[in-house]
Amino acid sequence: MQPASPARAVLHAVLAAVTLAAPTRPARGAGAETHRHSSEHYEIETTISPEFAEVVGRHMEAIYREYSRRFEKYGEVERKFQVTVFRSERDYLERVPSTVTGSCGVFMARDGLLAAHAEGRTGEEVLRTLYHEGFHQFMFEVINRDCPIWLNEGLAEYFALSRFSGGRLELGRIDIRSRVWSNRGNLTYSTLAINGSAFTRIYYLQNHFFHGGRVQLDSLLGSAGRSGFLGGSVERKYAMSWLLVHFLLHGKDGSYREPFMRYMRDEIRGDGSLDRLLEELGADLERLEREFRAYVMRK
């Protein structure tokens, strides 16, 4: 194994400090200093450290390049994106709406602000939250303010699970290496995912299918707004949204990628539908659900 480069070693040290330095019970009114960093497309504020502000800036510029590379023809960036990372959950909750209590990060469209906290979390977890919420911010500010929620959440989680490899972000990699079937009829894994969110969602969906659960893409794509999406099994809808995006970009040896991109352009313009997706893919609903189920079960 090659030793880490000095720059990468510094990055790991800064990210580790996010968790190690965060107090378990931050004192109210401690007057934490705010550190600011300005990059090409982002204004970063954090109560953690100036070094972490710079790390966030570098990571946000890296993920911005991935957003914009895939959506370069949709709109223009008119102002810098605003990002704030709080050291304590208490300070975060004082800034965000009460409706998102319990969250680790949120994009607040009204304020144009992406906010997150680092308390009790690793640096990598914080960055993944920023990648996810950062896509919502990019979608709202640059592409479309009424993107269907399944597509918005599926793409956001796709970007959130990016990882650095060879000095650049790598998208689409799922870190579950092997699977075994237990005698009790449930799925177990001999090797866990590097990212817990990916493992949890794949495991959840595989168990759903293993026990006879239906795919129901018509229900997922037909969810009417956030209230419809959040009704019923929310966890399954998040898992399905992410894995459906992953399947359409990487499944079938990539043959669905371009048809999916054409469908996505229509969907973002308000002209999309399940029928439009099937037409682009050249598949009927039964076939698409069968292929998607097989793809998930192979992970």
Q: Give the pLDDT of residue 118.
A: 97
* Cα within 13 Å of Cα(31), Cβ side: 0
Mean pLDDT of 165-185: 58
Q: How do residues 27-51 score in pLDDT, each as one tens digit?
A: 444 567 999 999 999 999 999 999 9
Give CATH for domain 6-23+33-145. Answer: 3.40.30.160
- Grade residue 15 by pLDDT with cuts at 50, 70 and 90: low
Number of Cβ atoms within 10 Å of the Cβ of 124:
17
Structure tokens at 165: 């490899």
Q: Give the pLDDT of residue 277.
A: 94
Q: Angle at CA 172, nearest 5°, toward 168 and 106?
A: 85
User: How is the chain split into domains, by residue range?
Assistant: 6-23+33-145, 170-298
SS3 (DSSP) at 282: coil
Residue 24 has pLDDT above 80, yes or no: no
